[in-house]
Amino acid sequence: MKNKTLKYNDQLIEYQVQHRPSVTRRIHLELNKDGSLRIVAPRRMSRRTIHRTLQQRVSRVAHFLADARPRMRERPVHRYVSGEEHFFLGQKYPLEFIQEPGRRGSISLIDGQIRVIVPNSRPEAVGKRLSRWYRHQALLYFSTRLEVIGAAASWTKDHAPPLRVRKMKRTWGSCSARGVITLNTHLVKTPAACIDYVIAHELCHLQELNHGKDFYALQEQLFPGWRKAKNHLKTRAHIYLV
Ligand SMILES: [Zn+2]
């Protein structure tokens, strides 16, 4: 694929175009693994239109790169080796392996470490086990907090709504039309205040569907610290969502 170049002051910005059928209207900016710029465009958009559009908004492209590249470098790459740190409730804990052949294995948070008892410490096996542990912890912790915060929300009528937990790439939580709250498993890696914020936010959606004035009034009442928590999640998402 041929690279094209944009001009921004005395900077040259190279990019590649990828046409993606799922993109229907506007172009998206993404980073390749090596930090270079990838433009994802609708199938029918011509190279010329793409180039013209990008050149017109070149300062935004430069800002995107200035913002996204350092984040990409901060993003942890997990190898699941002894001593590697993983987040739980906003704190980092090193992995400690205890190899016990023949045992089924288990994970526990003990003495400031995530202790992994495994029959073999193959990274893929440890990764899978750790991911199951996170899911289990997430379910336990989220359901407890959902009950506590739900009890403070008069509109839930003392019934905590049904809870689901699953891994998501971009969303921390959602609330379905049927009132089921879904929370991102990765959220259990973030500080307790962030978890409370997302739960409070979704609980408010049971009462107010849209992010209008009434919604924010409700959220302020249920979780006054929401701004700080929201900002933490926004700026650190790339570290937790892996
Ligand atoms: Zn919302």
pLDDT digits (tens, 9 = 90+) for 29-67: 999 888 899 999 998 899 999 999 999 999 999 999 998
Ligand 1 geometric centre to CA of 102 (Å): 47
Whether 76 and 237 have beta carbons less than 8 Å apart is answered as no
Q: Name the pTM for this structure.
A: 0.81
Ligand 1 geometric centre to CA of 66 (Å): 28
Ligand 1 geometric centre to CA of 80 (Å): 34
Ligand 1 geometric centre to CA of 151 (Å): 20
Ligand 1 geometric centre to CA of 148 (Å): 20
Residues of the chain with pLDDT under 50: none
Ligand 1 geometric centre to CA of 91 (Å): 26
Whether 223 and 200 have beta carbons less than 8 Å apart is answered as yes
Ligand 1 geometric centre to CA of 22 (Å): 24
Ligand 1 geometric centre to CA of 16 (Å): 34
DSSP assignments along 134-197, one per residue: HHHHHHHHHHHHHHHHHHH-GGGTT-PPPEEEE--SS-SEEE-TT--EEEEGGGGGS-HHHHHH
pLDDT of residue 1: 57
Kindly state the tokens that stand for 73.
């470098």
Ligand 1 geometric centre to CA of 118 (Å): 40
Ligand 1 geometric centre to CA of 228 (Å): 16
pLDDT of residue 111: 93
pLDDT of residue 112: 96
Ligand 1 geometric centre to CA of 12 (Å): 39
Q: Name the phi and psi angles at 45, rounded to 5.
A: -75, 130
Q: Give CA 95 to chain center in angstroms.
A: 22
Ligand 1 geometric centre to CA of 179 (Å): 13
What's the CATH code, domain 138-240?
A: 3.30.2010.10
- Residues carrying CATH 3.30.2010.10, the chain: 138-240
pLDDT of residue 75: 84
Ligand 1 geometric centre to CA of 111 (Å): 37
Ligand 1 geometric centre to CA of 224 (Å): 16
Closest CA to 29 of 39, 20, 19: 39
